[in-house]
Structure 1
Amino acid sequence: MDRYQAMATFVRVVETGSFSAAARHLNVGQPAVSKTVAQLESRLQVSLLIRSTHQLTPTEAGQSFYERARIAIQAADEAELAAKGAGAGLSGRLRVSAATTFARLHVIPRLPQFLAAHPHLDVDILLDDRLIDLVAEGVDISLRLGVLSDSAAVARKIVTGGRSVLATPAYLARAGLPQSPADLANHEAIVYSQLPSAWSFTRNGAAVSVSVTGRLRVSAAEGLRAAVLADMGVTIASDWMFAPELANGTVVRVLKTWSLPSIDLWAVFPAGHMMTTKARQFATFVEGIMRSAD
């Protein structure tokens, strides 16, 4: 039994969740995949998978083996890329975690360029506004916005963007145009629960903090966008979040002479794992997207 091939097969089974899906990805028959995993379990003398009617789940030993096997496969892929040279392109599978709205607006529409440049690469994108365990989810690179809370994370700042007070012209026509941060106390604020409800502004060295209230709080950026576009109130958000609407005038900035804290976009890599060439090149690709947009 080829140890590398057996590890690669097992990793693909875990990532796809079934023998049949792994067989399709590997372009082999399902019996061959099942036989390879059985031989691997026999050689290791341990059960790696819990088999049920609907799914395959790694055992504790299987999960541990999967994580180490995946690192070993990444290391082998890196060695091949180094030997072949950068012109050979990327191959294998890249798992990316990203905030839903940011990825939908800025990353996924540009993915055809990245995939065309690397025809032997598959990309999995996990869309989630919450912070996830990169190691447990098998993520190669996570695109995160804001302040990093994990001091042990391996991270690279991609770009810094602006924040603004935003609303639709229809809402402002109904509620009036705020002339100062203090005026926001009299407006219906749409509060993003991942940010403080006290909004801080600066101008000419002076700082002002305003506590805002509103009938609506949302926990995800998609909800914030929907509420603003439904003319429900004002909000603070990154300009990236409303880039299409700011461009066409559906949403406008208010209090433009006041500044808000900027927001950083980070590429975060799983701590304790090798940063792969695939992950580094994807980070560079995203950086190119965002600098071009700016």
Structure 2
Amino acid sequence: MKHNEIDLLRPAAVFAAVVEHGSFRSAAAQLDLSPPFVSQLVTELEDRLGVQLLYRSTRKLELTDAGRRFLDGVSAMLDAFDQGAQAVRHQKSGASGRLRISAPTIMATEALARFLVQFQTARPALELSVDLSDDHRDAIDDRVDLVIRIGNPEDDSRPARRLFQTEGWICAGPQIAPDLRKPEDLKRFRWVRTERMKAERMGFTDSRTGTRVTLEGAPAMSVNSDQLTRHLIALGAGYAVFPDFAVRDAVSKGSLIRVLPELEMPSIGVYALFSARRSRLSNARVFVDALEAFLKTPVRHRT
């Protein structure tokens, strides 16, 4: 770093805090500074850099393109500083304060509940807020620290980590599962799908022959809840396609039956996206590290 740029470190950190907390006033309260002084530091930073970093209005703040690029670098710098400070202080978890997590509704599984209980029990100083929604909300507007998404987030600029791979399973309830022996049998039953599954057809590959198979059942029932879909299928309303992680518990207990297992879909990744907001980034990484360890633990050993 050039010597004459060292003076930019403090205003850069203040700028990151303003983005994190969504306003100059909130950032000032967190930093124990006056709002005018925080605003002055950000303005001086923009003057030194020669670019506008934030769009300011009475309702909200928004990053400019230059602001997003600069925030990426500042976040990396602050993250490295946090890691170094934690290593010196021998902080193993650093989990305190509040962590806000957003995930799709399909994540509402017994396995996730078991993990959350374990994680919270081990870290009583950390307050968790888990929002299950299929809407891709704005992380800064909703003050979300960690977002879990299914599918490659290649168009998302946030730092991402792949948690695991998942594949699609065709499932039915015990009432109709014995009647689903061949792909053509699916035409006799209703395909129950969630609203996020817009396609009216779904392609699979028959692992025995390598041929493509297209699912096209009776007129579909569409609902906006994955949990309701699981209940409908268990009661014999038809069949549905689920990510395997969402139904493993139900299949192991026999409330759902995996049918036509020879039909395979390409696996897709489930990713953790870290918000550009800074102060709770270490908490988000502690959460993701613990979740990855949990996922690697054999199911019979999870308590």
Q: Deviations over 1:144-196 (max 9, x none)?
A: 223x35423432211123322111111x17xx522222322222211233565
Partner of 1:169: 174
Task: For residue 92 of structure 2, give the secondary structure of its aligned residue in structure 1.
Answer: helix
| Match among 184, 187, 190 for residue 188 of structure 1 | 190
Partner of 2:25: none
| Match among 267, 290, 293 for residue 295 of structure 2 | 290
TM-score using structure 1 length = 0.67
TM-score using structure 2 length = 0.65
| Match among 240, 245, 250 for residue 245 of structure 1 | 250
Instruction: Tell me if 1:140 matches 2:142.
Output: no
Partner of 1:3: none
Taking the aligned partners of 1:194 and 1:290, their CA distance within structure 2 comes to: 29
Q: 1:207 to 1:293 in 2, by over 3 A?
A: farther
Structure 1 unaligned blocks of 5 or more: 1-14, 17-25, 27-69
| Match among 229, 233, 242 for residue 234 of structure 2 | 229
Taking the aligned partners of 2:254 and 2:297, their CA distance within structure 1 comes to: 20
Q: Deviations over 1:27-62 (max 9, x none)?
A: xxxxxxxxxxxxxxxxxxxxxxxxxxxxxxxxxxxx
Task: For residue 118 of structure 2, give the secondary structure of its aligned residue in structure 1.
Answer: helix
Partner of 2:272: 268
Task: For residue 107 of structure 2, give the secondary structure of its aligned residue in structure 1.
Answer: helix
Q: Deviations over 1:93-129 (max 9, x none)?
A: 2221112341443223322322233333222212112
Instruction: Tell me if 1:217 matches 2:217.
Output: no
Q: 1:191 to 1:73 in 2, by over 3 A?
A: same
- How far did 1:88 drift? 5.7
Instruction: Tell me if 1:115 matches 2:120.
Output: yes
Partner of 2:165: 160
Taking the aligned partners of 1:269 and 1:194, their CA distance within structure 2 comes to: 24
Taking the aligned partners of 2:180 and 2:171, their CA distance within structure 1 comes to: 11
Q: What are the equivalent positions in structure 2 for 1:118-133 lying under 5 Å apart?
A: 118-133=123-138
Structure 2 unaligned blocks of 5 or more: 1-19, 22-29, 31-74
Instruction: Tell me if 1:202 matches 2:184.
Output: no
Amino acid paired to 1:228: I
Contact residue 89 and residue 117 of structure 1 kept, 8 A: no
Contact residue 203 and residue 214 of structure 2 kept, 8 A: yes
Task: For residue 251 of structure 2, give the secondary structure of its aligned residue in structure 1.
Answer: helix
- How far did 1:237 drift? 1.0
Amino acid paired to 2:164: V
Taking the aligned partners of 1:206 and 1:73, their CA distance within structure 2 comes to: 50
Q: Deviations over 1:77-104 (max 9, x none)?
A: 6564243124364222222111234144
Q: 1:95 to 1:160 in 2, by over 3 A?
A: same
Contact residue 205 and residue 264 of structure 2 kept, 8 A: yes
Partner of 1:92: 97
Partner of 1:46: none
CA RMSD of aligned residues (A): 4.9
- How far did 1:232 drift? 0.2
Q: What are the equivalent positions in structure 2 for 1:28-107 lying under 5 Å apart?
A: 80-87=85-92, 89-107=94-112
Taking the aligned partners of 2:179 and 2:202, their CA distance within structure 1 comes to: 20
Identity level (%): 21
Contact residue 105 and residue 134 of structure 2 kept, 8 A: yes
Amino acid paired to 1:185: K
Taking the aligned partners of 1:236 and 1:88, their CA distance within structure 2 comes to: 38
Partner of 2:50: none
Contact residue 164 and residue 239 of structure 1 kept, 8 A: yes
Q: 1:216 to 1:149 in 2, by over 3 A?
A: same
Specify which structure has the bigger relative contact order, considering alpha-carbon pairs within 8 angstroms and separated by 6 or more residues.
2
